[in-house]
Amino acid sequence: MSTPAKAAGLYGPVQADIERVEETLRSLKRVEFPALARMLDHVLGAGGKRIRPALALLAGKFDRYDLDLLVPLAASIELLHSATLVHDDVIDGAATRRGRATANALFANAATVMVGDYMFAHAAELVARTGNIAVIRLFAQTLMSMATGELRQDMSAYSYSQSTLDYFSRIGGKTASLFTTAARGGAMIAGVRDEWVEALASYGENLGMAFQVVDDILDFTGDEAEMGKPVGSDLMQGTLTLPSLLLIERYPVNNPVKRFFAGRQRAESLRRSIEMIRESDILEESYRVAGDFRDRALAALAPLPDNEPRDALMDIADWVMERRS
């Protein structure tokens, strides 16, 4: 890993500026309607790694680093991400996320959906503060991509007739598209030259793919207390991820995932699915796939100048592979 970025923290030269993004997010909770304020405080108080805002700020470091424009963009990206999680939890009926009660577990589903809508609207208002029509259009296109990815997931729930290509298409829309927009949008706001904008966008897309594949691996290997959700949560919700898809490919007959999705001996089928994935080399193969995406992300940085922001982007790519929650 690169020493300069590590010395300043994972996000290197923008580490201190993440606080401005945090303050913008905190300001959204200051509303006159007490019930809404409580719900926003709960949802936005969960914190997070803020990797997406960091990408937007780091991309802005390659030309005009104007925080008055970059901070609203970075905050809008994080708020959009948070709003999708609120809606996801309602759809999944999730009781916890990262060890905390979800909004829908504390409040009525209808109210929680409306809070998610409020957050989407506020995210749009924040990105509008940039005054950049191209970035506002990019934001709208990204929301459509994310919604399409979520629809792909929901419409294919408990269906084992999916391919790895279907999986990559789904996570490309649901997860990687926002990473791409963070990097591309930050570069566009800063007036970065076109070649570098495309390099940063490619980095963001491949980083987002690696991030989601690792997330799906951790669903089988992560510590339940650290992850804040049960092991095998995706399977429980009928969602096929790379490890479970590889298990189906390797054992097409008498497969425990298929039995679980068919509702046969559900507890035993789920336990056996997790056990077979853990005891095989499927997780190693999945890590190799994530590593390939990470390598593509690093390769995309080649046209960029060798400087501290680039070092930080390289460190982030390595961290994505090493994270445990």
For the segment 228-268, what is each residue's pLDDT rounded down to a tens digit? Answer: 678 999 999 999 999 999 999 999 999 999 999 999 999 99
How far is CA 144 from each of CA 108, 151, 190, rounded to the nearest angstrom? 26, 10, 24
Mean pLDDT (whole number) for 193-218: 98
**Alpha carbons 159 and 177: distance in angstroms, whole number:** 24
Answer whether 16's CB lies under 8 Å from 325's CB: no
For the segment 209-232, what is each residue's pLDDT rounded down to a tens digit? Answer: 999 999 999 999 977 766 667 899
pLDDT at 7: 41
pLDDT at 70: 98
Domain encompassing residue 13: 3-322
Q: What is the mean pLDDT of the chain?
A: 92
Quickly state the pLDDT bin for 8 (edges 50, 70, 90): low
Quickly state the pLDDT bin for 99 (edges 50, 70, 90): low
Q: Mapping DSSP to helix (H, G, I), strand (E, B) and coil, where does residue 168 land?
A: helix
Mean pLDDT (whole number) for 157-179: 95
Q: 197-211, 227-241, 289-303: which has the minimum mean pLDDT?
A: 227-241
User: H-helix or E-strand containing 86?
Assistant: helix 67-92
> What is the domain count for the chain?
1
**Alpha carbons 79 and 293: distance in angstroms, whole number:** 26
**Alpha carbons 25 and 135: distance in angstroms, whole number:** 20
Mean pLDDT (whole number) for 309-322: 97
**Alpha carbons 199 and 191: distance in angstroms, whole number:** 14
- Residues sharing a CB contact under 8 Å with residue 39, sequence separation 6 or more, in sequence order: 103, 107, 111, 112, 115
For the cut 80, the answer to whether the pLDDT of residue 92 exceeds it is no
Quickly state the pLDDT bin for 128 (edges 50, 70, 90): very high
For the cut 90, the answer to whether the pLDDT of residue 97 exceeds it is no
Total number of residues shown for the chain:
325
Answer whether 132's CB lies under 8 Å from 70's CB: no
Provide the CATH number for the domain around residue 310.
1.10.600.10
pLDDT at 83: 94
Answer whether 127's CB lies under 8 Å from 72's CB: yes
For the segment 44-62, what is each residue's pLDDT rounded down to a tens digit? Answer: 887 789 999 999 999 999 9
How far is CA 176 from each of CA 54, 108, 293, 308, 319, rounded to the nearest angstrom? 15, 30, 11, 24, 16
Quickly state the pLDDT bin for 96 (edges 50, 70, 90): low
Check: pTM over 0.95? Answer yes or no.
no
